[in-house]
Amino acid sequence: MSNEKPSAAKPPPSLDLQSHLAELERNGLLVRIDHPINKDTELHPLVRCQFLGGIHENDRRAFLFTNVVDSAGRRYDIPVVVGALAASPKIYAIGMGRPVEEIGADWLHAIEHPIAPIVVTSPPCQEVVITGDALREAGGGLASLPVPISTPGYDAAPYLTATLCITVDPDNGIQNIGTYRGALKKTDRLGVRMSSRIGGAGGYIHWCKYRDRKERMPCAIVIGAAPVIAYTGPQKLSIDVDEITVAGALAGVPIRTAKGVTVNLQVPADAEIVIEGYIDTDLLEPEGPFGESNGYVALEDFNMSMEVTAITHRKKPVFISIISQVSPSESSVIKKLALEPLYLNYLREALSLRSVLRVVMHEPLSNLRPIIFVQFANNTPQTEVWRGLQATAARQADSGKIVIAVSEDIDPENTDAVMWSLGYRMNPVDDVHVEPYRSTGHAPKSGPQEMDSTLLIDATLKYAMAPLALPAREFMERAQALWKELGLPNITPHSPWHGYSLGDWNDSWEGFARNAVDGSWATNGEETWRRRRGGLKPETPARTVETSG
């Protein structure tokens, strides 16, 4: 993986959310729901069904709800879309304007070659401006937005989830974009959670600087921007990088920005909705419970209060929300498609570990961060395997609690194959190392708050082994063709789907196998009859006797 610009001419991706939705619909990746849907009890659970119902990720869709109501019987004029950013890699790729296989190179190039935004006046995101008393009217302000409840039965409020929270460093003026949750508290107040853990939020670092100055922190929360902007929010870019410049590089053109109405921040001009305000740096208020992406419900924490000073939006906006909580989810797809190539580039280029072939962050249930698989080329020296394991665990404070190395014949996307490798290629006393003094990272807060540790496992092939016990490739290919000819149900073979050599296989055994499939098995029997020996215990390996003699 390199950070060279992708070779193919890049068509510009959609530069606003509604154009992106139209592109998804043209590609059959958007489902319109005109039936009345309760945002408090039905909306997120309905979309969640496609993540839990055995639907292949490529068949997952974005859902556009045009008839949104709430539990009090209110009907909202603003439609809600869920899954439009990353219900599947295919949807993410459309948002990037790139095939899935080129996404990693695109990210690396964009980080290295940012494009500064351009400032415009009279932006679409400020066609409607709500300030002052209008924010505090009953049913007005934040209450006028169709904000769904993400985890009905556990969440304490409707939550903004697909956010781009813009703050600025008061020392150097560099803006930061982060994706942080926001709980509706009042028509003009939000509870905002910006992670304070090691490796956490850039917004939190800014908050600390404003706190030291005894000033409130200006903040703009963008709801519904071009996907290339939205995708920067969950990424861990350097704190001195303005994400809007990376988004410009992803788009191939400068992003249009405009000054906020009540805060001195630059916001995406073509966004759907922008919530402006100031975050208190003196007093915190309880926020939560809320279903978290680690798969547990986050209980109450004292977090930030944001006084809303303006809500601006297009004349006919679309409200966007994302599926998070237990993975796979929309939030895990957003992270996975960018983080894996960044990890791979770090190992191969920064550390010159060219034997690393793939990095896979385990997604189902674990949400990427804790468990990472690193695939190495065969015959990689163990010293290099261990250097790769340690570097992977150390790259990001909240990722890589468990790192497992596998060889090139093991598909790291197939957890069963990884477990097979653990079962037969790993000796715990030699191949497992536990390192203490790790941050608890993005972990649930139930139970004692103590330091965590890191588990590194070398499950690579360390010596030649007998072939994988499945029919050889030619026979499985013929079987699949025959399966199709017979009109049997569609199948999707998962690796490993055929046998292959692992080094411990000689010409004699290859000849036996060929004789067997040719119907000449009796020839094999004649040959082994001539090799009979006495004085041996059953199950004595033939080569230990014949080579020693």
Strands (DSSP E) found in 314-390: 319-321, 356-361, 371-376
Confidence of residue 235 (pLDDT cuts 50, 70, 90): confident
Cα-to-chain-centroid distance, residue 232: 12
Residues 323, 15, 369: CA angle, nearest 5 degrees: 35
Same domain, 356 and 281: no
Q: Does residue 2 register a pLDDT over 90?
A: no
Domain with 486, as residue range(s), is 473-548
Task: Report the C-alpha gap between 141 and 308 in whole angstroms.
Answer: 9
| Residue 12 placed within a domain | no
Whichever domain contains 388, its CATH number is 3.40.1670.10
pLDDT value for 372: 97
Same domain, 449 and 480: no
| Residue 199 placed within a domain | yes
Task: Report the C-alpha gap between 441 and 459 in whole angstroms.
Answer: 25
| Residue 117 placed within a domain | yes
Block residue for tokens 């983080």: 339
Mean model confidence pLDDT for the chain: 93
Same domain, 386 and 431: yes
Contact predicate 408/375, CB 8 Å: yes
Whichever domain contains 33, its CATH number is 2.30.110.10
| Residue 330 placed within a domain | no
pLDDT value for 200: 65
Same domain, 385 and 254: no
State the total domains in the chain.
Answer: 3
Same domain, 81 and 174: yes
Write the CB contacts of 66 (distance below 8 Å, at least 6 apart in sequence). 32, 33, 34, 79
Task: Report the C-alpha gap between 264 and 341 in whole angstroms.
Answer: 35
Q: Which residues is 286 bridged to in the sheet?
A: 302
Same domain, 374 and 289: no
Q: Which residues is 465 bridged to in the sheet?
A: 502, 503
What digits encode the pLDDT tens for the residues 440-480? 877 777 777 778 899 999 999 999 999 999 999 999 999 99
Lowest average pLDDT, out of 20-24, 145-149, 349-353, 491-495, goes to: 491-495
pTM, to two decimals: 0.89
Same domain, 357 and 506: no
Confidence of residue 10 (pLDDT cuts 50, 70, 90): low
Contact predicate 427/460, CB 8 Å: no
| Residue 333 placed within a domain | no
- Among residues 321, 342, 369, the one where a domain terminates is 321
What digits encode the pLDDT tens for the residues 383-429? 999 999 999 999 988 889 999 999 999 999 999 999 999 999 999 99
Q: Which residues is 223 bridged to in the sheet?
A: 163, 273
Q: Does residue 60 register a pLDDT over 70?
A: yes
What digits encode the pLDDT tens for the residues 118-142? 999 999 999 999 999 999 999 999 9
Lowest average pLDDT, out of 83-97, 138-152, 199-213, 312-326, goes to: 199-213
What strands, in cross-sheet order, belong to the sheet with 452-458?
A: 356-361, 371-376, 402-407, 452-458, 432-438
Mean pLDDT over 313-332 rounds to: 93
